Amino acid sequence: MSEQEQRLIRCFASVFPGLTAEQIRASSAQSTGIWDSLSLVTLAAVIQEEFGVDIDPEVLPDLDSFAAFCTYLSRLERPGRGGGEA
C-alpha cells in the first residue's frame, strides 16, 4: 500500500468511522449508504487539509469513490500528466 493510499484511508476513516480499511478501499457513493453530500464536502475539506491541495469544486461530484480520489490526487501530484490543479 502506498503512503498516499494510507493517508487517504485515514481521511476516509475519519469521515466514515465505521468502515474497515478494506471497506474504505472498495467504497463509493453507490456502495456506502452513509456517503452523502455533507460527508463528501467534509471528506474534501479533510483531504485538502491533509494533502495541502485545493480540490476543484467542479470535479467534486465526480469524486464518488475511494478509487476516484486516489486517481485525482495522483494527477494533482503529477500536474504535467493530468488535468488537476495544485
Partner 1 sequence: MKLIEALELIGRPGVTTAPELKIFLACGFTPLHLQTFLAAHLRERFPERRISVSAGLFGDLCGNIERLEGDTVDFLAVVVEWSDLDPRLGLRTLGGWRPPQLDDIVESARRTAARLERGLAETSSRVPGIVCMPTLPLPPMFSTRPAQAGSVEIQLHHVVTALMANLSEQSNLRIASAQFLDEASSPADRYDVKSDVRSGFPYSVPHASALAQLLASLIQNRSAKKGLITDLDDTLWDGILGEDGVEGISWHLDRHSHLHGLYQQFLASLAGSGVLVGVASKNDPALVNQAFQRNDLLLSSNDVFPFETHWSRKSESVQRILQTWNVSPDAVVFIDDSPMEVAEVKTAFPELECIVFPKDDHGGLWKLLKHLRDVFGKALLTPEDSLRLTSIRDSSIWRDRSPSRQASPDEFLKAAEAHIAFDSSQLNGDNRAFELINKTNQFNLNGRRFSESEWRTFFIDPTAFLLTASYKDKYGSLGKIAVILGKTGGHKLCVNGWVMSCRAFSRRIEHQCLKYLFEAFGVDEISFDYQTTPRNGPLQAFFAEFVDGLPAAGVTLSRQQFAAKVRPLFHRVEGTVNV
Residues 18-77 that bind partner 1 (CB under 8 A): 38, 41-42, 45-46, 49-50, 57
Report the distance separating Cα 64 and Cα 40, nearest Å.
8
Q: Nearest 5 degrees, angle CA 29-CA 43-CA 51?
A: 125
Q: Write down the least CB distance from residue 81 to partner 1, Å.
A: 26
Among 11, 24, 63, 73, binds partner 1 (CB under 8 A): 11
Identify the residue among 1, 2, 3, 17 touching partner 1 (CB under 8 A).
17
C-alpha 72/C-alpha 86 separation (Å) is 11
